[in-house]
Amino acid sequence: MTSPESVPVRPYEGLAPIYDYVMRHVDYVHWAQHVQSLLRRHDGDADHVLELACGTGNAACALASLGYVVSGYDASEEMIAVAREKAESRQDLQFEVRDLRDLGGVGDFEAAICLYDSLNYLLSLADVGLALTQVYDVLAPGALFIFDVCTERNSMQHFRDVRDTEQGPGFTYSRHSYYDADEGLQFNRFDIRLENGSRRQESHVQRIYPHDDLVACIGASPFELLEALDGFTRRPGSERSDRIHFVLRRPA
């Protein structure tokens, strides 16, 4: 039962101010370089890139450092507020609150990305299909869409039932990650305590899709599937992968 002093909040509402600390182990520069290599591999290198579910803008900043102009969209107002602090008066970064399932009125982008298993937050294949259609509509002909997902192997190996607690500057958080294999759902629950005594709880749910289901969903979309790659390698992705990067193209 939730204690009286705990306030349940939307995903990332309480996490946003501490997100960069919690995720400080992520090498966003390497990830941006990987994206660049995939774009160039398929002759899809671009000047203006759309990042969907951009969070606090770390990947966008890394891409901007490589010379790209990046527009970052995220459904969380709190995460976008943190991202905008990083952009300040920079002309190569723009951040906006938008859901990746509702992109009407924007485009045409020369490439789009959606990183760090953000697509797993879409809990049905119908929503994945809707997102693919929305992204397709804001891309220029011939443009690439790169996204990644986590697999069941990742959940079973690393997040099946894991608890951790950490103290940061001005806060302490605990996290319980567990996987419901019957439902194919990954749960991550955060309890965040600030030094002023306030406490917030967040529940994050992700759908872990079978690889073949995603391939079929892409096949039913207007996109062309170019590659599905194991992690940050050039090997084909499969259920034995922890993470799979998909590279799609809007036909010219």
Question: Could you report the per-residue pLDDT of 85-97, keeping only the tens digit for each?
Answer: 999 889 999 999 9
**Does residue 76 surpass a pLDDT of 60?**
yes
* Identity of residue 21: Y
The distance between the two most distant Cα atoms of the chain, rounded to a whole number of Å, is: 57
The sheet carrying 224-230 orders its strands as 93-97, 69-74, 48-52, 109-114, 139-150, 243-249, 224-230
DSSP 8-class letter at 115:
-
The pLDDT of residue 45 is above 80 = no
- Give the span between the Cα atoms of 148 and 119, in whole angstroms: 7
Residues 211-225 have pLDDT tens digits of 999 999 999 999 999
Residue 4: pLDDT band with limits 50, 70, 90: very low
What does the angle CA 144 – CA 150 – CA 151 come to, to the nearest 5 degrees?
120
In the chain, what are the domains?
Answer: 20-150+210-249 (3.40.50.150), 154-207 (2.20.25.110)
Strands, E assignment, the chain: 6-8, 48-52, 69-74, 93-97, 109-114, 139-150, 161-168, 171-180, 185-194, 199-207, 224-230, 243-249
